[in-house]
Amino acid sequence: MIKNYIKNANFEDTGFSYTLSLISGKHKMVILYCLMEFEPVRFNELRRYVKNISDKTLSTNLKELEADGLIIRKEFPQIPPRVEYSLSVRGRSLMKVLDQLCVWGENNRD
């Protein structure tokens, strides 16, 4: 089915391509997974969960995920400022797909 779908359309016009554009990159799927497991999560907690990521890279990824409607950034008006991240409804719907990737990986691990 996928083969015929891609054959009859430009790859860039496929749902597969669109989904990849949302989750592409080294850290986005890990960030989404952490939010699924531990939400809501603060910036420093995410940095601990996603090891070996700079503040700038994490911040950029979070902004992109928010702009794509996959996560929600909630700011609390207090001193010091506090920000929490959680999955949006749209982001939760993507977790079904990422969960299947986990299942496949567990079933096919050497």
95 in a domain, yes or no? yes
Domain for residue 17, yes or no?
no
Q: Give pTM, 2 decimals.
A: 0.82
Q: How many CB atoms lie within 10 A of CB 80?
A: 5
Distance CA 60, CA 66 (A): 10
Residue 82 belongs to some domain of the structure = yes
Q: What is the DSSP string of 49-99?
A: HS-S--HHHHHHHHHHHHHTTSEEEEEE-SSS-EEEEEE-HHHHHHHHHHH
* Cα-Cα-Cα-Cα dihedral sign, residues 80, 49, 38, 20: positive
- Domain of 45 in residue numbering reads as 26-108
In a domain, 60, yes or no: yes
pLDDT in tens, 35-85: 999 989 999 999 999 888 999 999 999 999 999 999 999 999 888 889 999
Domain membership flag for residue 12: no
- CATH number of 100's domain: 1.10.10.10
